Amino acid sequence: MAVKRGKLIHAGKANNVYETDNPNYLELEASNRISAGNGEKRDVIEGKGVANNTISKAIFTKLEKLGIPTHYVGEGSNDASKIVKKADAILLEVIGRFKATGSYVKAYGVPNMMPFDGVYIEYTYKSDSAGDPRITADAIVANGLLSRRELGYIEYITERVAYAVKDFFAKCNGELIDFKIEFGRLPNGQIIVIDEISPDTCRIIDMTTGQSLDKDRFRKDLGAVSEAYVELAKRVEKMS
């Protein structure tokens, strides 16, 4: 049964959230808005919303097939949107890294692209006013964000997502360097992967050219931002 879009309830930095005629579902629309540095740098990138949504839908579909629970329900009312389950967001950003770059290199001064043994996982507290600070496992539990058991579960799911997404982008000739995912709780308490998994939330390097195919093009002023997103989405569409 088709789900009908209702009124706009939230316009975030990159996504618009709409009510639907099903009280358990929302419609999440990926916009062309892009931002970096906690919203300090902003622009509009033609074609980004549709490209991100194409990629995100394909990844969530793969995760669901692997038995990893997500909020994804199905196609939305346009090419930039998807229908998702309503969930209570857990205020964490869970970051998985295969190679060190970005804030990790800045924090610890290790060589750029130093490989990790497996997936390195870290957490930030999702707070724009505090600038998404790193948060330890003990603080996550002490602050009541998750129980110890739930934290263990999230770590297990993040590791599974890491390898699934790495394999997904490898099929598009891309190497997954790192990514950020978010989790939410359904009314029955089940923890699921929410939000999006896209070039806005992952670092992906073209395996042939070594070029970034993600938001780093915007962060570092590398140019051809729209072209990179659209190219990756084309590869995803070819694959599926």
Q: Contact positions toward ligand 5GP, by CB under 6 A?
A: 93, 95, 102-104, 132, 178-180, 200-203, 215
Q: Which is nearer to ligand 5GP, 55 or 202 (CB)?
A: 202
Residue 198: CB minimum distance to ligand 5GP, A: 8
Distance, in Å, from the CA atom of 143 to the CA atom of 141, rounded to the nearest integer, reads: 5
Alpha-carbon span 41 to 217, nearest angstrom: 13
Q: Cβ 161 to ligand 5GP, closest distance in Å? A: 13
Give the nearest residue (CB) to ligand 5GP.
102
Residue nearer to ligand 5GP on the CB measure, 3 or 202: 202
End-to-end Cα distance, the chain: 24
Which of 64, 63, 94 has its CA nearest to residue 164? Answer: 63
Q: Looking at beta carbons only, is 20 or 56 nearer to ligand 5GP?
A: 56
Q: Least Å distance between CB 3 and ligand 5GP?
A: 26
Structure letter (DSSP) for residue 110: P
CB of 111 to ligand 5GP, least distance (A): 15
Whole-angstrom distance, CA of residue 121 vs CA of residue 102: 14
Return the amino acid letter for 88: D
Residue with tokens 């009908």: 4
Question: Whose Cβ is closer to ligand 5GP: residue 3's or residue 194's?
Answer: 194
